[in-house]
């Protein structure tokens, strides 16, 4: 079968200079596919316009882009929010349309969205999900399984390079490492599903005093006025708004737990650190912990941060839940534990404290597995393949119809 080489229009409101996992995925996807064919962009850049005006003018901009570039054959929408808006567009029904779903954009707990919007995603020619967990949730909500293709996210291999910051430099900058050189790491925004407060409350509290946890990522040590205002809302509305905004819903409880002497003696929160420091902290850590828990209306679409930790050369210990299991394969590039099982987590951490050296060889093999099986180029190549297959299937169908007409004649 001769594969077509279509031009692709990428539409996304998640794109640099904004930072985040979805922004990174969008950037790498577009530039990766550009290695195979001509691509066009309609992306939101926060330094150029307001988000609302981007959405309001999107239908008009897409039609103008199609008029200016008549060889565009596929439009890709890079998440469920922008794809929801595009369901109401007019004028380009003849173009093949693809949407990528990441997790929260499937399970977001707004009744109208769940009942009226998600099932309409069947109007798209193809639905790509970043994990099998996201695909399962999409099917459960009425999206046809025949329309879904799972393509895992990639990961930046730069984090696997030798850290520029030495261990000695780390101990000078972060003196806590001098007294407790064996340390564990958590990394990420303090949202409930990450399980940080669960880990502190149910696991760290009961660990021996030689345990040291370093928490990394954005963190407000004092409550902001927005937190105080949001807390005045009814619980259901608070949950929906904080999910939509990606608000740090676990921050208040983490602050409270860090005031407990049993916990505070074993935990320090560094907040956001420079990337060279992050690489060195991960590479020299005993293990990276990702203790995700189930939160209704939310989910971990894909465990990208687990892959980054694995590539850095540390041991990944993560919850066996949701999209994490697409990123971490148990005993291949990390260790998976039952979510919310405090006894299993305590046993694993204690084993690492007592027999840390026995896991060093596993770290190397796990890093090699992640390096071999996950990359942005691999992800972009899989997208490119499905774009071609989508158009070739359509071309084959048209050929079959033409042949049928000829046979009848």
pLDDT per position as a tens digit, 246-285: 788 999 999 999 999 999 999 999 999 999 999 999 999 9
Q: For the segment 155-209, what is each residue's pLDDT rounded down to a tens digit?
A: 999 888 888 988 889 999 998 888 888 899 999 999 999 999 999 999 999 999 9
Structural tokens at position 296:
């209704």
Compute the distance between CA of residue 266 and CA of residue 214 in angstroms, rounded to an integer: 9
**Terminal CA-to-CA distance of the chain, rounded, Å?**
27
Domains and CATH numbers, the chain: 7-154+375-408 (3.40.50.2000), 157-373 (3.40.50.2000)
- pLDDT (average), residues 214-229: 86
* Residue count (the chain): 409
Compute the distance between CA of residue 175 and CA of residue 171 in angstroms, rounded to an integer: 5
Residue 224: predicted pLDDT: 81
Strand order in the sheet with 213-216: 267-271, 213-216, 184-187, 287-290, 316-319, 335-337
Residue 48: predicted pLDDT: 77
Compute the distance between CA of residue 120 and CA of residue 306 in angstroms, rounded to an integer: 33
CA angle 311, 327, 205 (to 5 degrees): 80
pTM: 0.88
Residue 222: predicted pLDDT: 86
Residue of higher predicted confidence among 347 and 15: 347
Residue 395: predicted pLDDT: 59
CB atoms within 10 A of CB 109: 15
Burial 345-372 (b: 16+ CB within 10 A, else e): beebbeebbeeeeebeeebeebbebbbe
Compute the distance between CA of residue 180 and CA of residue 266 in angstroms, rounded to an integer: 10
Compute the distance between CA of residue 166 and CA of residue 286 in angstroms, rounded to an integer: 16
- pLDDT (average), residues 128-148: 96
Q: For the segment 313-366, what is each residue's pLDDT rounded down to a tens digit?
A: 999 999 999 999 999 999 999 999 999 999 999 999 999 998 877 788 899 999
User: Across the chain, what does the average pLDDT equal?
Assistant: 90
For residue 128, give the nearest of 384, 315, 314, 346 by alpha carbon: 384
Beta carbons within 8 Å of 386's beta carbon, 6+ residues apart: 98, 126, 128, 149, 151
- pLDDT (average), residues 38-66: 91
Going by pLDDT thresholds of 50, 70 and 90, the confidence category of residue 4 is low
Going by pLDDT thresholds of 50, 70 and 90, the confidence category of residue 229 is confident
Beta carbons within 8 Å of 341's beta carbon, 6+ residues apart: none
Whether the predicted pLDDT of 396 surpasses 60:
no
Evaluate the CA torsion angle 82, 33, 300, 135 in order and state its sign: positive
Going by pLDDT thresholds of 50, 70 and 90, the confidence category of residue 310 is very high
Whether the predicted pLDDT of 401 surpasses 60:
no
Residue 398: predicted pLDDT: 45
What is the Cα 233 distance to its own chain's centre? 28
CB atoms within 10 A of CB 171: 15
Going by pLDDT thresholds of 50, 70 and 90, the confidence category of residue 3 is low
Backbone angles phi, psi at 349, to 5 degrees: -65, -40
């Amino acid at each position: 079968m001769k594969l077509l080489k279509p031009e692709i229009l990428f539409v996304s409101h998640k794109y640099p200079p904004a930072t985040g996992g979805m922004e990174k995925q969008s950037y790498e996807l577009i530039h990766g596919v550009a290695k195979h064919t001509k691509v066009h962009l309609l992306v939101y850049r926060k330094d150029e316009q307001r988000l609302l005006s981007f959405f309001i003018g999107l239908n008009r901009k897409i039609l103008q882009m199609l008029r200016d570039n008549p060889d565009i054959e596929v439009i890709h929408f890079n998440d469920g929010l922008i794809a929801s808006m595009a369901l109401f567009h007019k004028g380009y029904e003849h173009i093949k349309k693809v949407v990528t779903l990441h997790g929260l954009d499937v399970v977001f707990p707004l009744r109208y969205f769940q009942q009226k919007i998600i099932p309409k995603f069947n109007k798209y020619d193809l639905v790509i999900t970043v994990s099998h967990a996201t695909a399962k949730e999409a099917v459960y909500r009425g999206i046809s399984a025949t329309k879904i293709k799972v393509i895992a996210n990639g990961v930046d291999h730069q984090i696997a390079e030798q850290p520029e910051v030495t261990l000695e430099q780390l101990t000078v900058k972060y003196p806590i490492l001098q007294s407790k050189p064996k340390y564990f790491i958590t990394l990420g925004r303090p949202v409930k599903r990450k399980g940080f407060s669960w880990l502190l409350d149910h696991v760290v509290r009961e660990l021996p005093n030689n345990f040291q946890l370093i928490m990394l990522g954005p963190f407000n040590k004092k409550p902001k006025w927005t937190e105080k205002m949001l807390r005045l809302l009814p619980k259901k509305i608070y949950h929906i708004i904080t999910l939509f905004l990606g608000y740090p819903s676990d921050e208040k409880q983490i602050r409270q737990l860090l005031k407990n002497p049993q916990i505070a003696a074993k935990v320090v929160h560094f907040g956001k650190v420079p990337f060279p420091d992050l690489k060195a902290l991960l590479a020299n850590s005993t293990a990276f912990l990702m203790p995700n828990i189930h939160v209704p209306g939310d989910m971990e679409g894909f465990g990208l941060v687990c892959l980054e930790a694995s590539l850095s050369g540390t041991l990944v210990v993560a919850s066996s839940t949701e999209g994490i299991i697409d990123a971490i394969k148990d005993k291949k590039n990390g260790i998976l534990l039952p979510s919310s099982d405090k006894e299993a987590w305590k046993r694993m951490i204690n084993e690492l404290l007592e027999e840390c050296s026995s896991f060093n060889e596993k770290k190397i093999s796990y890093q090699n597995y992640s390096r071999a099986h996950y990359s942005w180029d691999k992800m972009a190549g899989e997208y490119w393949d499905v774009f071609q297959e989508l158009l070739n299937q359509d071309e084959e169908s048209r050929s079959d119809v033409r042949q049928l007409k000829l046979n009848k004649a």
